Amino acid sequence: MKAITVEPKKPGSARYEDVPEPDVQEGAVLVEAVAVGVCGTDVEIVEGKYGWAPQGETRLVLGHESLGRVIDPGPNSSLKKGDLVVGIVRRPDPVPCPNCAVGEWDMCRNGQYTERGIKKLHGFMSERWRIEPEYAIKIDPSLGLLGVLLEPATVITKALEHVAVIGRRSFWEPRTVLVTGAGPIGLLAALAAKLHGLDVHVLDRVESGAKPDLVRALGATYHAGSVRELGLEPDAIIECTGVGQVISESIQAIGSCGIVCLTGVGHGGVIPPAACADIAASAVLKNNVIVGSVNANKRHWYKAGNILARADRNWLSRLITRRERPENFKQALERKPDDIKVVIQFAEI
């Protein structure tokens, strides 16, 4: 079968090539790939900045935002042939650490977790893949291709859950949330926050096009410009850019007792003008919490499935701005100005 593979830490090594059929050791459920979403992590892996091949191998099958159709459910699963499924990304560390031991692998303590398509486990960008039944999430069949948005939705579901848990350390009735970045994660954050009944503001650099339209279609407010100039004092900021300047301004703009949740992974960039101690002083004097959030556990996968199932299908479909064939994966990895979510489509749905 064909797969999109890469030699991790070697820039430019990605190719679409023949690989063996998936090993039954990878799970009893055999799945036909329908589509795989592309995200910044995939771009980083292809650029040689991140990623690990499975033990004893040099290449990694890329892809962690999956959608597939069950070919063979295997002997012990409640799945049926034809079911649409999405694969959970992370597996607990083998020790296991206390958090992995209780199924909270997203909070792994020792870093020995593994991740499909990212860290030591083959991903989902292959014509067929296998998965353990307990890591296959069956989706509402009416979602169709939109099921490929489940993985990014889990990331934001976890982030919002953690904000809500942290908020309860004192009186907490949040009203206003600011989302920085109107990419797929930011837009899904805006959707989820809107479903929670919050006054949602989204900030991005672009002034026109699909992003502002999608934000307004949710009944949220769109802003182009800087966090500092907004004049908002939100109860929570969901930071989805990973850009230093946006992060530093967010920490200073957050309301008293508010929470800044960082979900973007950035590198380097311009050093923000505010000194670290000034930023910290602002957080101390306003009782703020700045929290990082990555990945998701099974509870978040379940909740994210409910969010997608409740969302307007037409709105969700506008998030998928481009579909590419697997042989054109290089185009899929290129970021174009109007892109929101690009997917590589392996089979018709």
Question: Interface residues with ligand BGC (CB under 6 A)?
Answer: 39, 41, 64, 89-90, 115, 118, 151, 155, 294-295
CB of residue 275 to ligand BGC, shortest distance in Å: 30
Q: Is the dihedral of CA 52, 54, 57, 60 positive or negative?
A: negative
CB of residue 288 to ligand BGC, shortest distance in Å: 25
Q: Distance of alpha carbon 201 from its chain centroid, rounded?
A: 20
Helices (H), the chain: 40-46, 98-101, 150-167, 184-195, 210-217, 227-230, 244-253, 276-285, 298-310, 313-317, 329-333
Total number of residues shown for the chain = 349
Structure tokens at 304: 């994210």
CB of residue 285 to ligand BGC, shortest distance in Å: 33
Looking at the Cβ atoms of 19 and 294, the one nearer to ligand BGC is 294
In this structure, what are the phi and psi dihedrals at residue 31, rounded to the nearest 5 degrees? -125, 140
CB of residue 185 to ligand BGC, shortest distance in Å: 9
Looking at the Cβ atoms of 118 and 311, the one nearer to ligand BGC is 118
- Check: CB of residue 25 under 8 Å from CB of residue 149: no
Other residues' Cβ atoms within 10 Å of the Cβ of residue 81: 10
Residue 12, helix vs strand vs coil = coil
Looking at the Cβ atoms of 89 and 179, the one nearer to ligand BGC is 89
CB of residue 325 to ligand BGC, shortest distance in Å: 23
Residues 152, 67: Cα–Cα separation, whole Å: 12
Looking at the Cβ atoms of 94 and 219, the one nearer to ligand BGC is 94
Looking at the Cβ atoms of 117 and 212, the one nearer to ligand BGC is 117
CB of residue 42 to ligand BGC, shortest distance in Å: 8
The residues facing 98 across adjacent strands are none
Residues 199, 324: Cα–Cα separation, whole Å: 35
CB of residue 207 to ligand BGC, shortest distance in Å: 27
Residues 256, 258: Cα–Cα separation, whole Å: 5
Looking at the Cβ atoms of 64 and 128, the one nearer to ligand BGC is 64
CB of residue 41 to ligand BGC, shortest distance in Å: 3
Looking at the Cβ atoms of 89 and 262, the one nearer to ligand BGC is 89
What is the 3-class SS of 210-276, one letter each residue? HHHHHHHHCCCEEEECCHHHHCCCCCEEEECCCCHHHHHHHHHHCCCCCEEEECCCCCCCCCCCCCH
Looking at the Cβ atoms of 176 and 293, the one nearer to ligand BGC is 293
